[in-house]
Amino acid sequence: MKETSIAGWGTTGNAPARPARPFDPSAAVELQDVSRWYGNVVAVNDISFALRPGITGLLGPNGAGKSTLLHMIAGLLRPSAGHVVIGGAPAWRDPAIYRKIGLVPEREAVYPFLTGRQFALLNARLQSLPEPEISADRAIARVELTDAADRPIGTYSKGMRQRAKIAGALVHEPPILLLDEPFNGMDPRQRLQMMEILRAMAASGRTILFSSHILEEVERLAQNVLVIVAGRLAASGDFREIRRLMTDRPHTFTIRSSDDRRLAAGLVGHPAVYGVELTEGRLSIRTSDFGAFTRALAGIARGGGITLQEVRPTDEDLESVFGYLVQR
């Protein structure tokens, strides 16, 4: 897990530029010490990470800086400090990177008088593709918009507009895909379909980054998670791994056994356990050292002749992890 340092965020003046560390050639996108401030407000605070092929989820509460970060990666916003590097070159002021990037922004689609097909075609032409019509049709088919493709985008529902935007971003088959709250307004079926599309693209080696504040989406789709809170990177990696690393938080387990009360009595004596709660039908244990606890549990149960029927960590889901991170 990588923690971001607090030191180094500048004031409204210019922060001294830190020399770039050598960039990782295997990473599609790399950020080093990237910050962005607007006057006195720091939107993104000293963030460093590298994106590799696969799906990464950018998770954070509203206003945490996800959009700002995405726009900086997309070369649409200049970092106030730090470096955003795509394929070895800075992302800012370089229109050529858009051959490699597909961006699905949060905003409404431009030109509502264009039909879905015309919009995809416009994107294809602006990308200087050799066969724009074919690429546009293929992108439309991929997001399953073929039926409505000849109606103006202004008449689309919100979910259809999202799909039109995604078609526009896929039209040039970019190796890097950036999506800002892509599942907004999609019904569950559309969301599942879109997730399938993204998984297929990731499996073929693309680097995908999507932002969301909906935990279930990120939990289901992302192999890697970047948690942003108040402009800072609070955690990154697989969220279960993150949980394990948070040793200053007690882990909570739910246990069902043949004799909860006697098991509780036995566990209370163990130094790793500091919270025991007995409710109808189950036992909730809070422990500071889950390694020692899991080893002790088996021994205590066997010693008391108690059968363990269910042992389940209650707070290893992304929601609890997120909750802990936000409260820090």
Residues that bind another protein (CB under 8 A): 67-68, 71, 74-78, 93, 95-99, 101, 103, 105-111, 113-114, 122-123, 125-128, 168
Judged on CB neighbours under 10 Å (0-12, 13-18, 19+), 292 is middle
Distance CA 208, CA 9 (A): 28
CB of 280 to another protein, least distance (A): 11
Residues with Cβ within 8 Å of 134's Cβ and at least 6 positions away in sequence, in order, are none
What's the rounded Cα separation, in Å, for the pair 197 and 33?
Answer: 32
Residues 6+ apart with CB under 8 A from 98: 75, 127
**CB 319, min distance to another protein, A:** 19
CB of 211 to another protein, least distance (A): 11
For another protein, the closer of residues 71 and 191 by Cβ is: 71
Contacts 24+ apart (CB under 8 A), 19-23: 20/83, 23/85, 23/88
CB of 198 to another protein, least distance (A): 19
Burial pattern 79-100, b for ≥16 Cβ within 10 A else e, equals: bbbbbbbbbeeebeeeeebbeb
115 beta partners = 152
Q: 69 vs 215, which CB is nearer to another protein?
A: 69
Q: Is the dihedral of CA 142, 144, 146, 151 positive or negative?
A: negative
State which residue, 95 or 305, has the beta carbon closest to another protein. 95
| Closest CB 244 distance from another protein, rounded Å | 29
Question: Taking the complex as a whole, how short is the minimal distance between the CB of residue 231 and another protein, in angstroms?
Answer: 12
Q: By C-beta, is 124 or 218 nearer to another protein?
A: 124
Alpha carbons within 13 A on the beta-carbon side of 211: 23
- Nearest to another protein of 107, 189 (CB atom): 107
Which is nearer to another protein, 179 or 321 (by Cβ)?
A: 179
